C-alpha cells in the first residue's frame, strides 16, 4: 500500500507535467514567432506609423493626437510599454481624469494584439473578429465613456499619476532576457492552473463554480463547461485562458461555439486585476477600467451570441488531428 501511493503520486505529477508541456509547447509555437515579428516591426518604426494612422481617431474621444502613439505602442507590444510612452508624451500635457480613463479603456481592451490575436486564432477565432472586437470595441467603449463623462461633467478635474515606472533598457539583449523570463513564467502558471483545476474537480468545487456562473454564461450564450476557463481568463489573462481552452477543446468538453464566444468575451474583458491596477497607475478611474469594461463586454457578447454564423463555427483542423492522434496513442497504450 505504501509503495503504491508514491507511485500513484509520481504518475499523477508526471501526467500533469506532460499535459502542461503539451499546452505550453502549442502556445510557444505561436507566441515566439509573433514576438519576433512584433520586435522587428517595432525596430522598423511601425509603432510611429500606426500612431500616425490612429491619430484621427483621438479627437472624437476627446484626446490629444499625441496619445495615439501610446495606444499604438500598447496595441503592438503590451500595457507596460504603453505606460512608459504615456509618461514621456504627457510630461508637459495636462489631462483630466476623464481623458486618462478613456485612454486607459483603449489600452485595457486593445493591447498585445499580434500575440494575443495569434493565440486566439490558434483556437479558432479569426483575425478579422479579433481586430474588430479588440480595436473597434476599445474605440467604441472609449467613445461611450467620453460621452458619458462629458455629459455628466464627471472626472473633469486634473489628473495626477500614482506612480511612474522607470525606463527599461532598450538593448536587444535586455529584450531577449525579458522575453525568456516571461515565457518561463507562462509555463509555471499553466502548470499551476492545471493542478488547480484538477484539485477543484477532486474537491467538487468546480460544480459550485458552474452553478454560480451559469446564469451569466447562459446570458452570454456560453455553455456551463466554459465556467472555469472564463474565471481564469478574466482574472489572469487571455493567453492562459486560451491555453486551457485548447486543452478542453481536445477533450471534447467544449463546443466550437462555446470556445469562440468565451475567447471573444475574454478578448474584451480579461486580466481584470493586473491590467486594471497597472493602468490605474496613470491616474485612470476604476469606473471605466473595470465596471464599464465588464458591462460593455457582457452586452457585446450577448449580442454576438445571437448571430447565426456562430452555429457554423469550427475549430482548426489541426486541433482535431492532434486530438485524434493523442486518443490513438492512449488507446494503443491500453492493455488488451
DSSP string, 258-306: HHHHHHHHHHHS--TTHHHHHHHTTT--HIIIIIIHHHHHHHHHHHHTT
Q: pLDDT per residue over 311-325, tens digit each?
A: 666 655 544 445 444
Query: What is the average pLDDT across 260-286?
Result: 88
Cα–Cα dist 217/210, whole Å = 9
Residues 101 and 284: beta-carbon distance below 8 Å: yes
Distances (CA, A) of 61 to 71, 201, 212, 258, 306: 13, 46, 37, 33, 29
Exposed e or buried b for every residue in 301-315, given b needs 16+ CB within 10 A?
beebbeeeebeebeb
Reading the block at residue 289, the C-alpha cell is: 477600467
Q: pLDDT per residue over 194-237, tens digit each?
A: 787 778 778 877 677 767 777 777 777 777 767 777 877 787 77
Reading the block at residue 160, the C-alpha cell is: 495626477
The whole-number pLDDT of residue 310 equals: 67
Exposed e or buried b for every residue in 218-232, given b needs 16+ CB within 10 A?
eebbbbebbbbbbeb
The whole-number pLDDT of residue 170 equals: 67
Q: What DSSP state is assigned to residue 226?
A: G
Instruction: Say whether 228 sits in a helix, a strand or coil.
Output: helix
Which of the pair, 214 or 166, is modelled with greater confidence? 214
- Whether 263 shows a pLDDT value over 90: the answer reads no
Reading the block at residue 52, the C-alpha cell is: 500616425
The C-alpha R_g of the chain, in whole angstroms, comes to: 21
Cα–Cα dist 11/255, whole Å = 30
Give the burial class of 39: count Cβ atoms within 10 A of its Cβ; 0-12 exposed, 13-18 middle, 19 or more buried.
middle
Cα–Cα dist 170/74, whole Å = 16
Distances (CA, A) of 89 to 71, 85, 166: 12, 6, 15
Range from 80-94, 214-228, 286-300 that averages highest in pLDDT: 286-300
How many other C-beta atoms are found inside a 10 Å radius of the C-beta of residue 193? Answer: 21
- Whether 6 shows a pLDDT value over 70: the answer reads no
End-to-end CA distance of the chain: 26
Query: What is the average pLDDT across 66-92?
Result: 90
Question: Rounded mean pLDDT of the chain?
Answer: 81
- Whether 300 shows a pLDDT value over 50: the answer reads yes
- Whether 250 shows a pLDDT value over 70: the answer reads no
234: CB partners within 8 A, 6+ apart: 266, 269, 270, 271, 272
The whole-number pLDDT of residue 204 equals: 76
Q: pLDDT per residue over 13-44, tens digit each?
A: 788 888 888 778 877 887 888 888 888 888 88
The whole-number pLDDT of residue 330 equals: 40
Amino acid at each position: 500500500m505504501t509503495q503504491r501511493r508514491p507511485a500513484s503520486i509520481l504518475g499523477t505529477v508526471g501526467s500533469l507535467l506532460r499535459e502542461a508541456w503539451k499546452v505550453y509547447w502549442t502556445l510557444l509555437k505561436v507566441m515566439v514567432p509573433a514576438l519576433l515579428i512584433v520586435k522587428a516591426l517595432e525596430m522598423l518604426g511601425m509603432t510611429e506609423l500606426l500612431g500616425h494612422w490612429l491619430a484621427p481617431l483621438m479627437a472624437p474621444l476627446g484626446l490629444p493626437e499625441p496619445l495615439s502613439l501610446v495606444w499604438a505602442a500598447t496595441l503592438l507590444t503590451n500595457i507596460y510599454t504603453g505606460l512608459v510612452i504615456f509618461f514621456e508624451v504627457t510630461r508637459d500635457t495636462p489631462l483630466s481624469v476623464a481623458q486618462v480613463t478613456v485612454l486607459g479603456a483603449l489600452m485595457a481592451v486593445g493591447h498585445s494584439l499580434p500575440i494575443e490575436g495569434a493565440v486566439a486564432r490558434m483556437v479558432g477565432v479569426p483575425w478579422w473578429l479579433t481586430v474588430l472586437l479588440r480595436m473597434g470595441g476599445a474605440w467604441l467603449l472609449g467613445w461611450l465613456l467620453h460621452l458619458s463623462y462629458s455629459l455628466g461633467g464627471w472626472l473633469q478635474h486634473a489628473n495626477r499619476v500614482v506612480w511612474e515606472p522607470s525606463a527599461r533598457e532598450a538593448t536587444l539583449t535586455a529584450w531577449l532576457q525579458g522575453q525568456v523570463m516571461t515565457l518561463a513564467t507562462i509555463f509555471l502558471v499553466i502548470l499551476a492552473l492545471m493542478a488547480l483545476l484538477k484539485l477543484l474537480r477532486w474537491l467538487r468545487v468546480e460544480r459550485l463554480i458552474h452553478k454560480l456562473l451559469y446564469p451569466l454564461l447562459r446570458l452570454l450564450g456560453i455553455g456551463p463547461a466554459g465556467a472555469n476557463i472564463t474565471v481564469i481568463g478574466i482574472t489572469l489573462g487571455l493567453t492562459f485562458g486560451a491555453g486551457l481552452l485548447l486543452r478542453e477543446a481536445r477533450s471534447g468538453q467544449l463546443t466550437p461555439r462555446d470556445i469562440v464566444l468565451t475567447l471573444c468575451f475574454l478578448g474584451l474583458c480579461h486580466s481584470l486585476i493586473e491590467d486594471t491596477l497597472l493602468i490605474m497607475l496613470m491616474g485612470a478611474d476604476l469606473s471605466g477600467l473595470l465596471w464599464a469594461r465588464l458591462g460593455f463586454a457582457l452586452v457585446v457578447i450577448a449580442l454576438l451570441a445571437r448571430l447565426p454564423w456562430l452555429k457554423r463555427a469550427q475549430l482548426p483542423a489541426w486541433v482535431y488531428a492532434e486530438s485524434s492522434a493523442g486518443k490513438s496513442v492512449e488507446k494503443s497504450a491500453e492493455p488488451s
